[in-house]
Structure 1
Amino acid sequence: MHDDSVSPLPSDPRFAGLRRRGFLAATGAASLGALSLAGCGGSGDGGDPKGGGTPQRGGRLRAAFAGGGAGETLDPHRANLFADAARAKALFDKLADYGPDLAARPRLAERWEPNRTLDRWRVTLREAAFHDGRPVTAEDVLHSYRRIADPREAFRAKASLEPIDLEASRATGRRSVEFVLKRPTAEFPNVLAAFGAYIVPAHADDFDRDPVGSGPFRFVSFAPGRSAVFRRYDGHWDGAPYLDEIEFVVANEESARVNALLGGQVEYAHELNPTTARAHEGRGQIDIVRLRNSAMQAFCMKTDRPPFDDVRVRRAFFLIADRKELVDAALAGAGETGNDLFGKGYEYYADGLPQREQDLEQARFLLRQAGAEDLRVTLDTSAVAAGFTEAASVFRDQAKRAGVTVDVRMGSKDSYWSDILDGGTLCCYRSGAMPIEAHISQRLLTDSTTNATHWRHRDFDALYRQAQSTRDTKERAAVYERMQRRLYAEGGFLVWGFADWIIGTARTVRGVEANAPANTLDWARFDKVWLA
């Protein structure tokens, strides 16, 4: 997470409304998964939410994103903001990417296949070329992954590539790579789709002045903190984009993005708030696109320290929460209720568990059993993410009705995520889209580096290893369901909702995919968008 200041936009009359201060941080996404032995790439599934029609070629689309100031880069391995990720997606490709259910879909990889023990994977590349005409080869893939894994760097995808033994992995042909893994990994396609795991040419060394990728658009110009212009790449393996050009314009303030959209200065505005969406939805001036299930909203309980080291207290808190009230108040209704599990609607989600409802009488009973009738706890929150302070206030009032006193403590936006990882006992928490497998491996194993609930159980770790060693998809799904049932009964995440991600577009824009949580393949994907 970041909170950097940025410089003002240039004096360009086209963007007179785009003035901003500060910048809005991005939520991350990590690796993604499914055991898919073969597949074909291609455009996103699902219908156009705005009526479709025959795609038309031509024109420049201007897209407004919050940015990161003069320090912005087009190096795809350094992408950290949503603006970085959107620009990287336009210029570069990954071997795989996330589908709407967070299962891996082939991109530069034409197919993949494991050995019997799931610790070696053969990946075959499709015929694709970089913008300079050079073919994408196995050596480019290995170079890219070894660059990401460089111990001197802090690239976002480094942790996701950890299962690969890159020294032992090798090219077995121009378009074939054998990845040797450190352990059986049934969800290895998650690694290929990891956030930031883009393939760059082996000879690439200047990403900000002349970046060369294999993505649907090629570089024209870049002014960090201001704008970037890319032009259609006619030789893209998935077909040339409909647009002639895409221009990414930086506008930090949500109001600036909305005003620019209303004023015709941009055609696409990223990350609008629910109040804005309600004010303009169905009014005919602009279109609102809601990306469902884009961000988990939760309270995080430390399971290894009082009072939450007692499972009865955790269960009581599950029953204190009125999830609909939290969604309505903290998210202004722009989302849906959670059920104390991550990944609603994603592959492997345990959707057969009963929806948990508020039950204050049972909550008080459990607290009495635990000797915690007059419980007082501190809830850490911050303005670091939308809805956090509102959710804390609502939950404080809900807890009071169960006889629990919740003291809300405001934290710094700059240090909140590091502060709550090991500090405190109860905090507000959010996560962007990632596969359920990645959520488990990064946050719920004994040695997970971002284990905010301090959930550490060796038998649970063993179940994860069992899932990763299980080749059959149905059998593996059964193991994941068993793990989720345990988390539902005694875990430390009180997942109360899943927030929509909200996009605004001009009425002339077509092809924006609604069935695409933020950070998935079809989010901010402009090669399939056109202007009517």
Structure 2
Amino acid sequence: MDNNPVDQSAFGLSRRSLMKGGIALTGLSALSSVAGVTSAFGQSVPTLIVASPQTPQSLDSEFDISLGTVDAYGVLYENLIEFAKIPDPKVPGVMREDTGSYPDKPGGVNAVGKLAESWEMDPGARWAKFKLREGVISNWGNELTAEDVVWSWRRKFELGGVGLFYLATLGLTKPEQIKAEDKYIVSFSPENPNPMLVRIMANLFAHVFDSTKCKEVGGEEDPWAKEFLRNETASFAPYVVERLERGQQAVFKAREDYYGGKPFFDRVIYREVPTSAARVSLLRGGAVDIAQFLQPLEVIQLKNVPNVEVNTIDATSMLWIELNAVVAPFDNKLVRQAMNFAFPQEEIIKTVFQDLGAPLIGAMPWFYPSFTDQYWQYGQNLEKARELLKEAGFESGFSTTLSYNAGDPVHEQIAILYQSALRQIGINLELKKYPAGTFYNAVSERKEPMIFYQDNPWTPDPGYAMSLYFDSKSFVNYSNYNNKEVDELLYKIARSADESERVKMSQRVQEIVMEEAPWVFVAYPNYHWAHKTGVKGLTYYTSNNIRYQDLSRS
């Protein structure tokens, strides 16, 4: 998600690592600015200060999936359910979502209730019903009812933004398929069986609005409250917006009457600090509690700073290079395979990522259900790359272009190493730098022969994750990859209630994708939580955002 509000790549999708370009807020100006906000609230109020690349651009999830906005959704909105939390096996004191498969549970997921206190799903995956908690009150004093859930999903039909992805994923083709069975029971009945009916309700973009307030402020002129929801919230979540100054800061205030209990931090100050160096400086100096989206070397340096902790966590993020399958010579599978055999993946993990990540050896996050690495065949082998180029008719090599994000230093470092490796097999690689503010426009236009992309599928389901990138009709299929068998299998995966069959089909998709190599597979970058000593309670979510209601201070 970039500097501009809508990047459909994430359609619920996902979350890319965005670094906004612009003038750095550094030194005393940054420190005094943040400190001034803090002192304005006094010292008696528990306040969390976060340094991030970007503030929220809009608070309407139908139209905005930019970096700061996605972080805001996690505290300003609430879902029907969430995945159960389990201790991270590698990082003491950190929790993570349980993304495993549980055939004996409704929807096959280990979930706990949020706005819903219970739920059930048809064994054939034809419907799911959710019983809401009674007495839950919104930030505007209105009680949660099934009509709020119905209205929230019908809004997706009417506005035709991000919500269209979710409707298509669930096979919901008309509003009547979402019904208020009574005041506190809502049902979903898609046109075809859909095994994701429960699982997707934990997705960050499946939250519930206070429809009473939205109708009140929108009236006849704006029945879906688009103008109101750009700057305000109407929800049942733990925080509300106290102040939103785009390009500077957002301030979120804890609700005293939140049904789950008031969060520890009364206020969260979300400060825009465009450069990672400035964010590091603020954390080192004690002016902020959390510094987000740092570079690998910065993370390593912070590990030795007094009063600072850095937790490095296995994440859903995947970084790859799109190989445009409709642009020669990447319309040739053998050339795409050669590009992977030429890629110095091991060297890049060690030198660029400083071993703070792992080789990308699959088509989805490695800890998602049905993942397999048995079809991984690459790793740098220049002789094999030469053989494949010769077989494809490019024995003398060719020239092409690799585009990268000027706002992400990792891209340039990788590109230079890759350029050197390709030169050894006769490929002349020209590097093309895009400003951070326009880079993702270049990605979505799908015209560049090679371009970096980083994303993370937010729902731990193989059908969801792989449909995003490999279904020929998906907007996020930026490599223009098209395989009829893959399309057919992904269609069936999304409509089968037989988990064993879903696994077989998912693994077949992975086999085809790894063979046809629509990407240059780069890395699984880790998630880094850099924070003051004493701030605790992190849960790692597949959406790669922090829910500040989880945190406290010792």
TM-score after normalising by structure 1 = 0.82
Using the TM superposition, give the Cα deviation of residue 18 of structure 1 relative to its aligned residue in structure 2, in angstroms: 5.5
Equivalence map 1:11-160=2 (5 Å): 15-16=31-32, 59-68=46-55, 72-97=57-82, 100=97, 105-106=111-112, 107-115=114-122, 117-127=124-134, 128-151=136-159, 154=161, 156-160=162-166
- Farther off after superposition, 270-279 or 122-131: 122-131
- Pick one of 233, 243, 255 that aligns with 1:233: 255
Q: Is the 8 A contact 2:364 2:466 kept in 1?
A: no
Q: Is the 8 A contact 2:346 2:379 kept in 1?
A: no
- Look up the match of 2:394: 372
Q: Is the 8 A contact 2:193 2:497 kept in 1?
A: no
Q: Is the 8 A contact 1:141 1:199 kept in 2?
A: yes
Q: Is the 8 A contact 1:161 1:191 kept in 2?
A: no
Using the TM superposition, give the Cα deviation of residue 234 of structure 1 relative to its aligned residue in structure 2, in angstroms: 4.3
Instruction: Say which SS state the counterpart of residue 501 (structure 2) adopts.
Output: helix
Using the TM superposition, give the Cα deviation of residue 340 of structure 1 relative to its aligned residue in structure 2, in angstroms: 4.4
Instruction: Say which SS state the counterpart of residue 473 (structure 2) adopts.
Output: coil
Q: In 1, Cα distance between the equivalents of 2:512 and 2:155?
A: 39
- Look up the match of 2:87: none
Does 2:463 match 1:441? no
Instruction: Say which SS state the counterpart of residue 200 (structure 1) adopts.
Output: coil
Equivalence map 1:209-288=2 (5 Å): 211-288=233-310
- Look up the match of 1:432: 456
Instruction: Say which SS state the counterpart of residue 228 (structure 1) adopts.
Output: strand
Q: In 2, Cα distance between the equivalents of 1:516 and 1:207?
A: 24
Instruction: Say which SS state the counterpart of residue 314 (structure 2) adopts.
Output: strand
Using the TM superposition, give the Cα deviation of residue 483 of structure 1 relative to its aligned residue in structure 2, in angstroms: 0.8
**Residues 468-494 of structure 1 deviation map (CA, whole Å, 9 limit, x = unaligned):** 222132331221111111111113022
**Residues 95-136 of structure 1 deviation map (CA, whole Å, 9 limit, x = unaligned):** 345664656645333444443553433233334332344322
Using the TM superposition, give the Cα deviation of residue 149 of structure 1 relative to its aligned residue in structure 2, in angstroms: 3.1
Q: Is the 8 A contact 2:463 2:494 kept in 1?
A: no
Does 2:432 match 1:409? yes
- Look up the match of 1:42: none
Q: Is the 8 A contact 2:472 2:487 kept in 1?
A: yes
Q: In 1, Cα distance between the equivalents of 2:23 and 2:184?
A: 44
**Residues 257-293 of structure 1 deviation map (CA, whole Å, 9 limit, x = unaligned):** 2222223222112212222211111332311122433
- Farther off after superposition, 459-468 or 198-207: 198-207
After superposition, the Cα gap between the structure-2 partners of 1:327 and 1:264, relative to the gap in structure 1 and judged at 3 Å, is same
Using the TM superposition, give the Cα deviation of residue 527 of structure 1 relative to its aligned residue in structure 2, in angstroms: 1.4
Q: Is the 8 A contact 1:208 1:222 kept in 2?
A: no
- Farther off after superposition, 494-503 or 106-115: 106-115
Using the TM superposition, give the Cα deviation of residue 335 of structure 1 relative to its aligned residue in structure 2, in angstroms: 1.5
| Paired amino acid for 2:293 | E
Using the TM superposition, give the Cα deviation of residue 250 of structure 1 relative to its aligned residue in structure 2, in angstroms: 2.6
After superposition, the Cα gap between the structure-2 partners of 1:400 and 1:508, relative to the gap in structure 1 and judged at 3 Å, is same
Structure 1 unaligned segments of length 5 or more: list them: 20-56
After superposition, the Cα gap between the structure-2 partners of 1:388 and 1:6, relative to the gap in structure 1 and judged at 3 Å, is closer
Q: In 2, Cα distance between the equivalents of 1:428 and 1:14?
A: 31
Q: Is the 8 A contact 1:337 1:496 kept in 2?
A: yes
- Pick one of 347, 357, 363 that aligns with 2:385: 363
Using the TM superposition, give the Cα deviation of residue 353 of structure 1 relative to its aligned residue in structure 2, in angstroms: 4.0
Instruction: Say which SS state the counterpart of residue 454 (structure 2) adopts.
Output: strand
Does 2:543 match 1:529? no
**Residues 204-230 of structure 1 deviation map (CA, whole Å, 9 limit, x = unaligned):** 244477634211224444444333333
| Paired amino acid for 1:361 | E
How many residues are matched? 485
Q: In 1, Cα distance between the equivalents of 2:322 and 2:298?
A: 29
| Paired amino acid for 1:84 | T
- Farther off after superposition, 406-415 or 268-277: 406-415
After superposition, the Cα gap between the structure-2 partners of 1:500 and 1:315, relative to the gap in structure 1 and judged at 3 Å, is same
Identity of aligned residues (%): 19
| Paired amino acid for 1:417 | Y
- Look up the match of 1:34: none
Instruction: Say which SS state the counterpart of residue 429 (structure 1) adopts.
Output: strand
| Paired amino acid for 2:166 | S
Q: In 2, Cα distance between the equivalents of 1:238 and 1:135?
A: 15
Equivalence map 1:159-174=2 (5 Å): 159-162=165-168, 163-164=171-172, 165-174=174-183
Q: In 2, Cα distance between the equivalents of 1:211 and 1:423?
A: 38
- Look up the match of 2:106: none
Q: In 2, Cα distance between the equivalents of 1:13 and 1:304?
A: 49
Q: In 1, Cα distance between the equivalents of 2:479 and 2:492?
A: 22
After superposition, the Cα gap between the structure-2 partners of 1:121 and 1:79, relative to the gap in structure 1 and judged at 3 Å, is same
**Residues 133-171 of structure 1 deviation map (CA, whole Å, 9 limit, x = unaligned):** 4322111111112223323x64x3332233322234211
| Paired amino acid for 2:519 | F
Q: Which has the higher helix share?
A: 2
Q: Is the 8 A contact 1:340 1:496 kept in 2?
A: no
| Paired amino acid for 2:517 | G
- Look up the match of 2:92: none
- Pick one of 396, 400, 404 that aligns with 2:423: 400
- Look up the match of 2:90: none
Q: In 1, Cα distance between the equivalents of 2:24 and 2:431?
A: 35
- Pick one of 177, 184, 202 that aligns with 1:175: 184
TM-score after normalising by structure 2 = 0.79
Structure 2 unaligned segments of length 5 or more: list them: 5-20, 36-43, 84-95, 101-108, 218-227
Using the TM superposition, give the Cα deviation of residue 318 of structure 1 relative to its aligned residue in structure 2, in angstroms: 2.1
Using the TM superposition, give the Cα deviation of residue 411 of structure 1 relative to its aligned residue in structure 2, in angstroms: 3.5
Q: In 2, Cα distance between the equivalents of 1:331 and 1:338?
A: 13
Does 2:528 match 1:506? no
Q: Is the 8 A contact 2:55 2:249 kept in 1?
A: no
**Residues 330-349 of structure 1 deviation map (CA, whole Å, 9 limit, x = unaligned):** 43433111114232222321
Instruction: Say which SS state the counterpart of residue 176 (structure 2) adopts.
Output: coil
Using the TM superposition, give the Cα deviation of residue 412 of structure 1 relative to its aligned residue in structure 2, in angstroms: 4.6
- Look up the match of 1:52: none
- Pick one of 358, 371, 375 that aligns with 1:336: 358
Q: In 2, Cα distance between the equivalents of 1:112 and 1:464?
A: 26
* RMSD over aligned Cα atoms: 3.1
- Farther off after superposition, 249-258 or 318-327: 249-258
Instruction: Say which SS state the counterpart of residue 167 (structure 1) adopts.
Output: helix
Q: In 2, Cα distance between the equivalents of 1:173 and 1:311?
A: 54
- Look up the match of 1:451: 477
**Residues 7-60 of structure 1 deviation map (CA, whole Å, 9 limit, x = unaligned):** 999xx99942669xxxxxxxxxxxxxxxxxxxxxxxxxxxxxxxxxxxxx9722
